[in-house]
Amino acid sequence: MAYLGVDLGGTNIKAALVTEEGKILREASVPTALPRSPEAVCDDIVRLCTELASGEWVEAIGVGCPGSVDRGRVLYSNNLNWHDFDMAEYLQSRIGLPVYIGNDANVAALGEALAGCAKGAESAVILTLGTGVGGGVVLQGKLLTGYTGVASEPGHMVIMDSLDAPRCTCGRCGCFESLASATALIRMTAEACRAHPQSLLHTLAPREDTITGRTAFDAAIQGDIAAQEVVEHYIHYLAVGVANLINIFFPEVIGLSGGVANQGEALLRPLRAAVEPMVFGNAFAQKHTRITTCTLGYRAGVIGAALLAKQKQQSEYSMLPDRQMLH
């Protein structure tokens, strides 16, 4: 028994044939080639899925799509410039299999929770530290999507409520995303470069456009004081957001993905130490949230989409009035 998982991104459409345990059997991708109509993009998804499913018994298809998604309909996707498109209906009418759509960050979180860094855990919060801060919440193996279907936007939780806090792309000031994303780390590193012309940061990144999320960490390891201050401030902001999420959900696992998370223990050790005193009742708790890095990489999206399809189909099956008739 297998499922098809599709990760629809602004650059590429990735798809994979996945077992019900979350193992990839084969995969393929094509460029998204935007701007294009939703129908044109979906026609490419149909072709990918048809090729991957050849000779296989496929139960259903799951798709991770950026933007606001509810009951198979893409309400709005800024990345794709789509509005009110019934994606599930369009794909299902052309493939002839059940199709289930989820937000891409939520779907990737489900993949990590069920088949990656939080496999076997009852609950997990997965954060992606990239251009922004995305993520998803998985409780008892199920995605928390909320009343509107678009819950879990941790990047837009305010963690610095002041007039001089950096403005987020959403329009608010002091969002988690504006202080703990890779973009925020690069901005803070650039500010340190301008303020400290003798810093090693200038050697590692001679121009501002060569600064990456690694620059401050690399210079800090070599003893550069300006870089160490950048890393310290960045980890503080990340810790505030992570502690908030722990205090709200108390998950078994917090998983970090994205370029910044590639720092591994250089990030995790000080982050854990900073989070610990911020967690409510931590000194008396007998169980503690495990903070770790994600393990599936770019495959989290396709694996999560396939497992979403499995969950949704099984849920619909369990709600049939007379399941015996299907045996």
| Domain containing residue 207: CATH number | 3.30.420.40
- Predicted confidence band of residue 324 (pLDDT cuts 50, 70, 90): very low
Whole-model pTM? 0.88
Residues 144 and 269 in one domain: yes
- pLDDT tier, 319 (very low <50, low <70, confident <90, very high otherwise): low
pLDDT above 90 for 38: yes
79, burial (CB in 10 Å: exposed 0-12, middle 13-18, buried 19+)? middle
pLDDT digits (tens, 9 = 90+) for 233-247: 999 999 999 999 999
Structural domain includes residue 248:
yes
| Cα 23 to Cα 149: distance, rounded to the nearest angstrom | 27
Residues 207 and 316 in one domain: no
pLDDT at 218 exceeding the cut of 90: yes
What are the structure tokens assigned to 127, written together? 């954060």
pLDDT of residue 142: 92
Tokens of 193: 């470069």
Q: Are residues 225 and 127 in the same domain?
A: yes
How sure is the predictor about 318, in pLDDT bands with cuts at 50, 70 and 90? low
State the Cα–Cα distance between residues 201 and 247, nearest whole angstrom: 36
Q: Is residue 154 over pLDDT 80?
A: yes
- Mark whether 158 and 87 lie in a shared domain: no
102, part of any domain: yes
- Answer yes or no: do 236 and 317 share one domain: no
Q: 274 and 305 share a domain?
A: no
Q: Is residue 114, in this structure, part of any structural domain at all?
A: no
Same domain assignment for residues 147 and 208: yes
Give the pLDDT of residue 182: 94
CA 166, CA 275: separation in Å to the nearest integer? Answer: 22
Whether residues 149 and 15 share a domain: the answer is: no
Helix (H) or strand (E) holding 122: none
For residue range 55-83, list pLDDT tens digits in order. Answer: 999 999 999 998 889 889 999 898 899 99
Q: Are residues 71 and 38 in the same domain?
A: yes
166 and 227: one domain? yes
Whats the size of the chain, residue-wise? 327
Q: Tens digits of per-residue pLDDT, 119-140?
A: 999 999 999 998 889 899 999 9
Domain of residue 63, residue span? 2-109+298-326
Q: Do 57 and 203 sit in the same domain of this protein?
A: no
Q: Is 71 exposed, middle or buried (0-12, 13-18, 19+ CB in 10 A)?
A: exposed
Question: How far is Cα 237 from Cα 73, in angstroms, rounded to an integer?
Answer: 35
Q: How many domains does the chain have?
A: 2
**Is pLDDT of 326 > 50?**
no
Q: Are 254 and 245 in contact (CB under 8 A)?
A: yes
